[in-house]
Chains A and B, each alone.
Chain A
Amino acid sequence: MSEDLTNSPLGSLAYDPAPESASIARLQGSYGLFINGKFTDPSSHEQFTTLNPANEEALASVAQASSADVDRAVGAARRAYETVWSKTTGAERSKYLFRIARLIQERSRELAVVETLDNGKPIRESRDVDIPLAAAHFFYYAGWADKLDYAGFGPNPQPLGVAGQIIPWNFPLLMAAWKLAPALAAGNTCVLKPAETTPLSALVLAEIFQQAELPPGVVNIVTGDGSTGAALVDHPDVDKIAFTGSTDVGRMIQQRVASSHKHLTLELGGKGANIVFEDAPIDEMIEGIIDGIFFNQGHVCCAGSRLLVHESVADEVLRRLLRRVDQLRVGDPLDKNTDVGAINSAAQLARIKELTAYGEAEGATRYTSSCSLPDKGYWFAPTVFADVAQSHRIAREEIFGPVLSVLTFRTPEEAVAKANNSNYGLACGVWSEKGSRTLWVAERLRAGVIWANTYNRFDPTSPFGGVRESGFGREGGRHGLEAYLNV
């Protein structure tokens, strides 16, 4: 049988464009700061532009909050805490959270398009993952609000007060939900600072808070760059800082809140190891590797960016993996058939290019998807590095892009040693049909999250967080409440 038939080209049924309409986003020209239940102008009247990373076109102009604005927001949150929210019963708080969850569902299509436009992620992911999960978090914590006595923290656990929350650009709405839902359920008021490049979905969420008639000041949203975040971290009347983002910024925040009364939780970077044993279910494992690193263009703190393959099956796994990588549909994020979207910003693209250049210079073998990339916007073709050694930068540093480093191991001990040989400790995956081995490995991995025969699966009932330079504190589940209670 001829080679071309047995290696039948995949995806030869070319799909016509199936774009979701950008107008569903109903974007406004400019957005103010959401303080005390209203959109207000920043004191400096300064605005910045947020771009669509898929075509570099401006989407909207957004307010740059100064430290005076942050002060206003914190003041509003404090007043709301003292006068309203701390006097609101758990059952009442629960009603607001349920209402918010339902409104997110009602406006899910709009939110998905907003998220895809602002972030560059495929509409399939924002529609099927980000938005449903964000709603699920509000639903889940709505259930906890009137049951805090039974959360395992003793009777009548008290909120912390005003929480300052700084979130990243990779899952803008979902990270807002992860932060806000448990904080509100526990009885705190919030000042949320979305990422500079992806502020829009949080501002739509602010509209939802208005629709839900959440009391003014309970949630305030201040947009801006790093200086806005710094002002929030430094504000003396904030009781708690919750941050998700890079390890460098997390380290800086921890230094700044040291010797203050502020509680702190950090969810930082990662260099997740996806460990594949020879007896793994091969087809699902290949999909798991793909999901682990190419989901959300690899802009995932828990991405399975290091693939550790059992030596005996390494060639077979690599062959199948590369075939699958080549098949990924890269392009217009609004197209419903797109698998991999745009890199979120020029800065991030430059970082990915820099680190992959090191990969080649240090001697790893590079495979790049043959997909064509759009002319405008920030794009990076899915890339796999084979023959990677532990000492390579691409095996140690977080790339935060669609780049996979493949290493091999011979024994389970070696797999564990290599997986743990990292400053990070956020997530790992183990692929094997043998349960006893999976458990043996999982017990020895130093990471906050271990997935067995799956990867990048999230659920509001399950705690998520890291160890070592991946941070501390947990989000999700009963554990997620602890971060917002005085226990």
Chain B
Amino acid sequence: MESESQLRAFLASLSGVDAVGAEARAAKLATRSLKKSTKLTALDLAISMVDLTTLEGADTPGRVTSLCVKAMYPDPHDASVPSAAAVCIYPDLVARARTVLGESRVKVASVATAFPSGRAMLNVKLLDVREAVAAGADEIDMVIDRGAFLSGRVGQVFEEIVAVKKVCGSSHLKVILETGELATYDNVRRASWIAMLAGADFIKTSTGKVTVSSTLPAALVMLEAVRDFAETTGQLVGVKVAGGIRNAKDALRYLVLVNETVGAAWLTPDRFRFGASSLLNDLLMQRLKQRRGAYVRPDEFSGD
């Protein structure tokens, strides 16, 4: 995009989203019933898509170590369980995670850019990203400037993402739209396009730090955006849903959404992720239930 006015004209040309219709579509897909081998496949797929997350002020190196081990070996008694996709942590703990994960296929994802509010000067945000990348982050989860977006300064949002992407270098960039603060699905669609045009490798629903986190309809609108973006540009952008996804049932509903909106190319951890903490244990529990026919005690699995 050459100028803010061009970008604004482009965003205005995007089709609107009918909220009632989008919610009805998401609710309808939520009634899909996954049974037997489909369920097992989907549970394993979901496990492999988890960005195992801890984003608390009280996080410690010990907790991050535990989380990394859990991500590599979600169920240490069963080697057929795939590892999680990544651990998602604050920048100051990246170095520790990098050390623990070593050459494992589990990625280190770091939130950055004054997460979760995004309220800082641009140079502070860029430094935040630069430090995280230097410490070994494979993926950067940035937040967009919702203040700028909502007040119509879309050019600023765009430029900021471009700048962050540049600092990321070869690290993958996930752009958090914070859909719960965007107020309308039209805005979710526009923000998705801004992020994709600016070079996002993933677009992500939420920080998990505001009242409304990921919802099925918001994810649907984002999936439609990545589908349309792929059709116009040939580039496949991933989607990460985060916040409030605590059980396997919810996760499978998202997978159905992916399956029936964007299809096979996105049914991989390279293009779809769950940002979650307690979800992993429920996925493991349901996986064992499918195999054994009975539930195991929750304590069967480690807390982190």
Contacts and interface: CB of A to CB of B under 8 A. Distances in A.
Most buried by B among A15, A279, A285: A15
Tell me what chain A mostly uses at the interface: helix, strand, loop, or mixed. loop
A128 B37 CA distance: 26
Interface in B257-304: 259-267
A293 to B, nearest CB: 16
A13 interface: yes
Interface stretch (A3-11, A206-214, A393-401): A3-11
A254 to B, nearest CB: 37
Given A18-B34, A18-B35, A124-B31, A11 B259 contact: yes
A86 interface: no
A10 B265 contact: no
Given A8-B262, A8-B266, A336 B16 contact: no
B41 interface: yes
B167 interface: no
Given A1-B236, A11-B260, A281 B16 contact: yes
B3 interface: no
Interface stretch (B17-25, B95-103, B195-203): B17-25
Contacts of B264: 8-10, 12-13
A454 interface: yes
Interface stretch (B74-82, B154-162, B227-235): B227-235
Interface in B229-245: 230-231, 234-236
B33 A283 contact: no
A18 B22 contact: no
A14 interface: yes
Contacts of A281: 15-18, 21
Contacts of A124: 31
A453 interface: yes
B89 interface: no
B230 to A, nearest CB: 5
A269 to B, nearest CB: 27
Contact of B25 (A8, A13, A282, A287): A287
B230 A14 contact: no
A337 B34 CA distance: 9
A1 B18 contact: no
Given A18-B34, A283-B224, A336-B31, A11 B263 contact: yes
Contacts of B39: 16
A6 B264 CA distance: 10
B contact patch SS: helix
B259 A284 contact: no
Contacts of A280: 15
Interface string A1-34: 1000111111111111110000000000000000
A146 interface: no
B267 A16 contact: no
Contact of A14 (B16, B17, B38, B266): B38
Given A12-B263, A281-B16, A1 B235 contact: yes
Interface in A69-117: none
A288 interface: yes
Interface string A442-485: 00000000000110000000000000000000000000000000
B32 interface: yes
Contacts, number: 104
Contacts of A7: 231
B17 A283 contact: yes
B22 A284 contact: yes
B142 interface: no
Nearest to B40: A16
A433 interface: yes
Contacts of A5: 230, 236, 265
A13 B41 contact: yes
B261 to A, nearest CB: 8
A280 B16 CA distance: 7
Contacts of B36: 16
B42 interface: yes
A387 B91 CA distance: 58
Contacts of B20: 284, 453-454
B5 to A, nearest CB: 21
B47 interface: no
A422 interface: no
Contacts of B224: 283
A6 B42 CA distance: 22
Nearest to B14: A282
A453 B21 CA distance: 8
B263 A283 contact: no
A327 interface: yes
A15 B256 CA distance: 10
B31 A10 contact: no
Contacts of A336: 31-33
Interface in B195-236: 221, 224, 227, 230-231, 234-236
A285 B36 CA distance: 34
A6 B234 contact: yes
A17 B21 contact: no
Contacts of B263: 8-12
Contacts of A18: 33-35
B230 A1 contact: yes
Pick the most buried of A8, A17, A288, A433: most chain B CB atoms within 10 A of its CB: A8
Interface string A404-438: 00000000000000000000000000000100000
A284 B42 CA distance: 27
B93 interface: no
Interface string A358-371: 00000000000000
A152 B195 CA distance: 56
A284 B25 contact: yes
Given A6-B230, A327-B260, A454-B20, A16 B265 contact: no
Given A10-B260, A18-B33, 10 more contacts: A8-B227, A11-B260, A18-B34, A18-B35, A281-B17, A283-B22, A283-B25, A284-B21, A336-B33, A433-B18
The 3 A-B pairs with the shortest beta carbon distances in the complex, nearest first, are A284-B21, A1-B234, A8-B265
16 contacts: A1-B236, A6-B265, A8-B227, A9-B263, A11-B259, A11-B260, A12-B267, A13-B41, A13-B45, A16-B35, A16-B36, A16-B38, A281-B15, A282-B15, A283-B17, A285-B21
